[in-house]
Amino acid sequence: MKFFVDTADIKDITDLAETGMVDGVTTNPSLVAKTGANFFDVLKDICAIVSGPVSAEVTATDSDGMLREADKLTAIADNITIKVPLTWDGLKTCKKLTSQDVMVNVTLCFSANQALLAAKAGATFISPFIGRLDDLALDGMQLIQEIRQVYDNYDAIETEILVASIRSANHVKDSALIGADVATIPPNVLRGLINHALTDKGLAAFLADWEKTGQSILS
């Protein structure tokens, strides 16, 4: 499963990219606004750090407006992925852009039917928001299972399932178990994936035993 980092914070992206764990980045207007920096400058900086897909979201709600914004966004870098909402205008935009070999991330998906529509429109990625479903006492992971099953029924579907609105390490694990293609993960959750009490305990024991020997690997 590919890991995208869900942020527009350059420091976080740079730090995590050095681990080799970042296959791409997802942004949205809210995340970019938090940086306080110029929208285009932020995207240029991210694309200079990450070679994989970088999702940049349109703000227009009509297809003509989305296409005009997409022209400006794709001029930033070759790895820009245009992020459009799961509306009829968004799907029209998706169809036109993918026919021009532009990567498209269809976002705000909350049902398997919506995911099927996005796939038929040629979406590169579909972004189901599992955390927001969980907030409503619904089962976000069930949606991922349903989309996986639908997509696997048809060899012609090439759209990748990009699990979004991830809130916990369990969301990441369950997405991988189901077979999602991508998880876009907030930096704090991605860093937390490495944590386990037994790892810390084992390392402490090894270091304590080594110290008792009075030796040094470098001496």
31 exposed, middle or buried (CB, 10 Å; 0-12, 13-18, 19+)? middle
In one-letter notation, the amino acid at residue 117 is L
The active-site residue, picked from 83, 92, 201, 212, is 83
Distances in whole angstroms, Cα of residue 38 to Cα of each of 29, 32, 68, 83, 197:
11, 8, 19, 18, 41
Confirm whether 83 is a catalytic residue: yes
Distances in whole angstroms, Cα of residue 27 to Cα of each of 73, 88, 98, 202:
13, 22, 20, 38
d(CA 85, CA 93): 10
3-class secondary structure, 128: strand
Q: ∠ CA 116-98-81 to the nearest 5 degrees?
A: 95
d(CA 62, CA 8): 25
Catalytic residue positions? 83
